[in-house]
Structure 1
Amino acid sequence: MNFALGFKTTMGESGSMEALEKQLICPICLEMFTKPVVILPCQHNLCRKCASDVFQASNPLWQMRGSTTVSTGGRFRCPSCRHEVVLDRHGVFGLQRNLLVENIIDIYKQESKRPLQPKAEQQQLMCEEHEEEKINIYCLTCETPTCSMCKVFGAHKNCEVAPLQTIYNRQKTELGDGIAILVAGNDRVQAVISQMEDVCRTIEVRITEVHLPKAQL
């Protein structure tokens, strides 16, 4: 309910698309929710694939044969609030789909003028620890790129992270600002050098003018 109200409010404000996009980011993959989207008992949302990844990582003994569940039961914790989610024999497929969020995603895609996911899959780096996971976040604590599964269950679970694209844009801006400062500083240095050269030429001219009458005498 709060999600729907927030959606109606932000759509009428400037920068609403960016604000809406932040609400549509999955806390696991840190990308826009991929349908189907499931809602947990704590009211937080996950991509069903991400929910499955978290569930299987929390239940390593859970056995799957194709799409048929062999074991029953299972549980994992919500990555947002750490609330324990208890599943029935259907696993993550027993979680209710959040059709409201899925509809909002469709509206967002229709309203957005830019592609949501740039097609650069061939250049996408993959995590060495989790071979099927893309490197899509940056660990601010360790100052290294990593994947979302490393944040949830791996070496960076206690670290502060941010989306890799956000850090890239920030560092690109900082680099541009640094270059601009260097260019401005170089211009000031060149201006000072020019002033000193002018002063030197003026002094030389005055010295010449002082000695010239004596030479004529």
Structure 2
Amino acid sequence: MEALGQVLSCPVCLELFTPPVLVLPCTHNFCKKCLEKILIRQNCSHVNGQFSCPMCRKIIHLRGRGIIGLPRNILVESILEKFKYELENLHAKEQNQLSQICEEHGESMNLVCLTDDKPICAICKLFGDHETHNVAKISEVYVERKKRFTQDLDWMFRQSEHAEQARKEIETKINELTYTIADVRVMIEAVGASLLKGIRWRMAELKAKLGKDYSTKVEKLQLAASELQVPRHLYHQMKTLLEQHSNSVHFLQEDKLFRSKVEKLMDGNSLHQETKDYHISVGQYFKDLIKGIHINNYISSNSDEILASSNELPEVFRPECPAFSFSGGIPNEPFCQKVLDFFQKSNEIKQDPIQKVSHSDGNNTPSRMDISVEADSASRQAIV
């Protein structure tokens, strides 16, 4: 092998040929890279140049194609490939043999120390560190251990098959979750949009009802206020007649007309009409707005944290806004009262316009009616 290695070595680099191997007309072989270095050293840079063979000094003409025109030695390259293969096998065998030699005594390791579970040689057992240890023949231990290793390998194969099947099932679950979350988001968007549409329709309906209710009550109250001006006007007319009548005939003629008006007022209903029926109930409108919505179930200690951690919620549904869920029920009275108190305080802070009609009775006790209308307050305020 050593002699063959010398034959397959480049005379320039003194190493095994590195393909491609070029052969000169003088039959000497060189590595292509080595031959390129030779051309550089001999100042042969032209495609029609010439150079001398480093081995026999024969002049080689490139003939217009440069170094590319030189033929490759395919036979040498094939022999070189097989030589390297055999060289690797030989090296592997040498390493294998060396691995079976005891490094301490240089003897072949043909025993196994059962105490330390390691291969040893006979000298290690007779005179070495393993003198008092239990040993066995390496061939017997090898057969037994190889059999057990094969069994472990079969078990590991089955485990790997099961693990691979489980991994595929997990990937299937992940894909199912991916598709499911997309479907659920579409459902939430569709159903949520439908619920919001229903809420907006109810809000619009209640706003229209509120506007009509407000217009009707204000119209009646304005009519009542106009009727309350009649006594004062009649009083000034009668006082003017008493102070400024020109003669008795004129007074008697006017007195007859005023007397009929006074009698008509005295025979009619009381000028003061009860105005409590003209009150707009915020509580009733609140109940009508959230009818079928159970708020209590959605007011929890961690609802703010859940809403705050969601990046997909629009600003109107942030923690400062309430959460609603349709359940067919009506909030209990204490909760409604709490909400009404909240709205009342909010109205006082905002100083919303309040219409007041006052009337004093015989005991000088004032009677007050407050009409407070705030559109969209339920959709803009937080109920905590």
Q: Would you call these one fold, judging by a TM-score over 0.5? A: no
TM-score of the two chains, using structure 2 as the length reference: 0.23
Mark the structure with the bigger radius of gyration: 2
> Quick check: which one's helix share is greater?
2
Please, what TM-score do these two structures have when normalized by structure 1?
A: 0.39
In terms of fraction of residues, the more strand-rich structure is: 1
